[in-house]
A and B are shown apart, each in its own frame.
Chain A
Amino acid sequence: MKKYGKFAALIVVVVGTLGWLAATGMNETKTYYKTISELGQMGDQAYGKRLRVGGDVESGSIQHTGGRVQFVLVQDKMKLTVAYTGTDPLPDTFRDGAQALADGKLGSDGVFRAKQIQAKCASKYEAKPGQLAPGQSAPNINTGKSSI
């Protein structure tokens, strides 16, 4: 049974290492999905955590100032001012009325600093954009920056 011991030890090492990588990775990269109203209720806990907030871009709220982009997200009449701090240009789909997901942290001044913006837009006949086939990559992400 000694050889099975060796196998077991090796398997434990491999699986253990991967589990450890996965667990530490999760702590460091996890992002909470929050609605704007949940964000309000979180109080002080909201600061410093990585968050992902969704909503509609309020028409006319997109402001470009000195290369910086600022806009207002609306969801169920709750509003959140978002400042985009990322380096990549905003996605093609980002404009007035589009549904957007902002990924970043809430600043102490109440402005959400987003490192990434994902946006999708409604099309002519459907409330939601057309479905894609499996395997198709995210068409609306122009901000994805890390891949292998």
Chain B
Amino acid sequence: MENLGSLAILLAFCVALYAVVASVIGGIRRKPFLVVSGQRAVYSVWVLITLASSILVYALMTGDFRFAYVAEHSNRSMPILYKFAAWWGGQEGSLLFWSWLLSTYAAVVAFTNRRKHRDMMPYVVAVLATVQTFFLLLNNFIANPFQMLATDKLIVAVPDGNGLSPLLQYPAMAIHPPMLYLGYVGFAVPFAFAIGSLITRQPGDGWIHTTRRWTLVTWLFQGTGIMLGAAWAYHVLGWGGYWGWDPVENASLLPWLSGTAFLHSVMMQEKKGMMKVWNIVLISSTFFLCILGTFMTRSGFVESVHAFARSDIGKYFVTFLALGIAATVYLILDRLDYLKSESQLESVVSRESSFLFNNLILLASCFAVLWGTLFPTISEAFGSRIALDADWYNRLMVPIGLFLLFLTGVGPLFAWRKTSLESLRKNFQWPGIAALVLVGALLAAGMRHFYALISFGFCLFVALTVIMEFYRGARSIAAKNDMNLVRATVELTYRNTRRYGGYLVHMGIVLIFIGVTGHAFNLNEVKELNKGDSLRIGAYNLKMVDLQQGENENYQWHRATMQVTKNGESLGTLEPEKRFYKASKQGTSEVGVRSRLNEDLYLNFGGMSDDNQRAVIQAYVLPLVAWIWIGGLVLIGGTLVCLVPSKIKMQYARTEVVGLIKKHATVQN
């Protein structure tokens, strides 16, 4: 069976290579049968990788411990869900999973576009198949998941495996990597279309229309993956936080940031025919950041406590990245004249300008995160290895985030070309006043945290502008069609899902900012407690009423039962627990959280004291954290709304520049 698996990925490698060659030759020579055979090769690759993956998953499920991969990442006592999740739990498996997702995407792209974009498609398929070939190269020759355990020449099985890292044995964690991967891999599709459009010198922005949904879905997956990762960190790591600027977290954030910039700047191209070069650059950067992210987490290139095996996989990624970037840059420079802007910037207070700054800021943050992540490696090349810690990121990213939040509020309401004073007053007077009143009230209430004040002010400002937009639109629909406001709001959204879905996404971002701002007011307390002792934190009084220990076949555990009272009122108990997994000799924390909209009470069992008599309890009060998760859900909902086709087909009305049309006309004649 292992031979069949190896054979399948080897064949897939050959077929993918064939798909590249057939598509390119078919495209250049205009041979339809070659183009079609290239597309069929893409389907075959999917079948082959699916077969290989099924074999690996079957081995994981049945516990075939002759497989080195199975022995490392599965064991007998693991629940079935995690046996399946072990597919992407380790290096070899996750790379195979990458390949499989890419082949799935490529097959879907090839199928849905088989009758469209006839001149562009061969190159789209070729780009996707090239990426596929690279990953299959890794699957076959660098990180083969079908490696057997052997002593001398005999294949042997170990009695039981290591098991998936217990930290990963958590439901959100089982779906978090696939979500991120769907994002990472998905950006290959718009990239392939952009390149295909460049190669064939497509006029207009067909590639953007075709891939808008792809990009949005991919972006959604990436965002959801990041949120799940944060939720996992919060519930499993027991440190009361959700984001630590770890290189691997950063790696997932980078393409999300540049993807966000891309989603905004394509509107400039659709509406005004501007920023064409920029959009190609953005989607290419996003794709290469995805590859870079995969590379950073796979190669040990960046020092991370994630502790990846250092392997020589890095040089393959570097080569692939270098070649890919060089080819893309060459192509863009060569085709610059096809990417001429059709209009110009006119005013600083305009929609165009707000998009420009939105892009600038997103790119700046992207660059800052990249810089921080790579800095240890860069500085090592110049002498001593220097790390930048979370504090550095916070200093930089907090102002960046606040500026972005501000743009979120004003940008969508600026008019195209130039905004009149009258419309500024109409749109921003009341939200502005309300925000100032809020900041004043918070100051009066004794809040002195500078960034927090600004953040809350902006949050209210943006939220009000969004609500006003909905209200104004809904009111006029309600008046015209005799509806109530709620139905009118639904109707309004349905008429232009893209615009109002976008507002919902902005609302989600505001809620996330509210949650993150709560961090400024965190409390924490650590104490060693005996049964009957208590601990005070904020308004809470925590009394340890029980301390137990025990073990089962998977792990040993210590558990404290904490009686929670707030201002004398009893709120029930929380049970933080510490586990020690036997197979992997690793500890994990099961935190006790009481989550409310205003604040979370978060208890972690830190461990036993030195004399093994008392429990070390870490208590945190984390204001507003719940809003991060709520905001995440709103963001997902808003993106889904964007994906629904609008009831009225709203093509962006394009403002064409007459002179340029004339020029086109003469060229055509």
Contact = CB atoms under 8 A, between A and B. Distances in A.
B243 A147 contact: yes
Interface string B609-641: 010000010100000000000000000000000
A7 B350 CA distance: 12
Chain A CB count within 10 A is highest, among B239, B394, B398, for B239
Interface stretch (A22-30, A74-82, A105-113): A22-30
B598 interface: no
Contacts, number: 247
Interface string B231-246: 0110011110111111
Contacts of A143: 239
Given A142-B238, A146-B390, A121 B526 contact: no
A124 B244 contact: no
B298 interface: yes
B366 to A, nearest CB: 12
Contacts of A131: 90-91, 94, 297-298, 306-309
Nearest to B578: A92
A128 B309 contact: yes
Contacts of A120: 305, 307
A90 B606 CA distance: 8
B360 A11 contact: yes
Size bracket of the A interface: 35 or more
B307 A129 contact: yes
A48 interface: no
Contacts of A3: 345-348
B457 interface: no
Given A32-B385, A89-B606, A130-B73, A147 B168 contact: no
B600 interface: no
A128 B392 contact: no
A101 interface: yes
A40 interface: no
Interface in A101-148: 101, 103, 118, 120-121, 123-126, 128-148
Contact of B241 (A34, A87, A147): A147
Nearest to B97: A133
Given A15-B364, A125-B72, A137-B229, A93 B387 contact: no
A31 interface: yes
A135 B177 contact: yes
A47 interface: no
A2 to B, nearest CB: 11
Given A131-B90, A133-B177, A90 B607 contact: yes
Interface residue range, chain B: 35 or more
Given A135-B229, A140-B307, A123 B252 contact: no
Interface in B395-423: 395-401, 403
B516 A7 contact: no
Contacts of A67: 528, 610
Contacts of B364: 14-15, 18
Contact of B376 (A10, A33, A145): A33
Interface stretch (B259-267, B278-286, B541-549, B581-589): B581-589
A8 to B, nearest CB: 11
B215 interface: no
B173 A138 contact: no
Interface string B569-590: 0000000001010011111110
A133 B94 CA distance: 7
Contact of B90 (A21, A31, A92, A130): A130
Contact of B391 (A14, A125, A146): A146
Contacts of A118: 305
A118 B305 CA distance: 7
Contacts of B298: 131, 134
B387 A141 contact: no
Contacts of B237: 137-139, 141-142, 144
Contact of A14 (B168, B236, B360, B588): B360
A25 B400 CA distance: 14
Contacts of B297: 131-135
B176 interface: yes
A134 B184 contact: yes
Which of A29, A52, A147 counts the most chain B CB atoms within 10 A? A147
A31 B379 CA distance: 11
A137 B526 CA distance: 23
A18 B345 CA distance: 24
8 smallest CB-CB distances across A and B, nearest first, come from: A92-B587, A89-B606, A64-B610, A135-B252, A33-B385, A133-B177, A137-B233, A147-B241
28 contacts: A7-B356, A11-B360, A14-B361, A15-B360, A18-B368, A25-B391, A31-B387, A33-B384, A52-B387, A89-B604, A92-B586, A93-B586, A131-B90, A131-B94, A131-B306, A131-B308, A132-B165, A132-B248, A134-B184, A134-B251, A134-B296, A137-B229, A140-B306, A140-B307, A145-B241, A146-B391, A147-B394, A148-B519
Given A88-B618, A132-B306, A148-B398, 16 more contacts: A7-B356, A14-B361, A17-B399, A22-B371, A25-B391, A26-B388, A88-B526, A93-B587, A134-B180, A135-B225, A137-B244, A137-B248, A138-B248, A138-B305, A140-B307, A142-B239
